[in-house]
Structure 1
């Protein structure tokens, strides 16, 4: 995607009825058929220019010697005038996953998109520098929905479920590099007790918000890894595992 979300349909004249809408995202960045080029351990997907955002997006996926997956994106301004956007990664996991994000404290988190007349707000608690989202639904709770905007203290977030830890690593940026309406890390929750098939958690990161001159490009990347987890599915054990495992930083690059 491109951010901020509030401007998805603002900078275009083809569909004036969509101006100001917050959904859906630019279909040229999410739904179009892309040209694919593959090599040994790599895949590149190239898309056409969007008349809605002015961006043409290229995605690249590379298996690294460490066994990790590097996910890269490049966005090019195809217009004859400047545009301002960020690159927004969005990865969906099962709604019963525990999700952990390193933060300095509770003031590094703000909740939004919460409608308490329908469902409960996400259950996120901060202990010893780890914000942990508990996916469990107490008896009588129909579900949870909303978004957590976070200023992380380190460049990673993780989901823990079914004996595995899925880790996403990225370059940590100063808070003022991120568009003020977004967070460098965002977690969107839609957890419905009676409808698990449509439930999910979105693990999102934003790259720096930049103004691009005509023809100028910007890049961003993530590193993905999967690790075994044999601990208990409870807050203390989960937090201890991810804190200890991530002490050395981006192990996809170091091989640790």
Structure 2
């Protein structure tokens, strides 16, 4: 199949979850990639990729945004150590790049196949593609709230990553994914909604510095699911135990 962006015939193995983020949760030489809602996974050294959606040039455009987001998220993790929960601020961040990065993640998952976790962007797919590739100004209806989840006060690690999921709040479609230790809650809909006192203050598509919410991981579904998988799945536990044994040799 040709590139979904430019029509180039030659496509590459394009990572759906950027490899720079996959490496952060890597165990030994592999890591477990959860794809389906039943928690099924497969060990992989490179993460989930689709070889039928993007050419090298278009994948590289999104890759530059992904590299930038990875650096920003890593700095947020380091800057969140020993800080109390609540709203925090980062200075000198290009928020537009983070917004376009989030658009790129959603768009890639909207053009992949069902087996890799395809999502539906409905009538917004083309506009979100244009946001991702910098072809249009970022519209007011596209916004992102970032939440850093801490397992303990000195936590600067990444315990899991999660592919985008469709959500619906106040009859508005949202998307939720987790990369680099940050939960990204994305609004990609022209309908208005009330985000509440805290989230409304950290939305990226507004004036001011980048703000994010620092919260305990225990309250998040991402943490509960990853912990439950590790504890209850014999296949996943055996895989992780095998990697631990390899590391300790």
- Shorter-chain TM band: under 0.3
TM-score, reference length from structure 1: 0.23
Structure richer in helix, relative to its length: 2
- Give the structure with higher Rg (CA): 1
- Calculate the TM-score normalised by the size of structure 2: 0.23
* Higher fraction of strand: 1
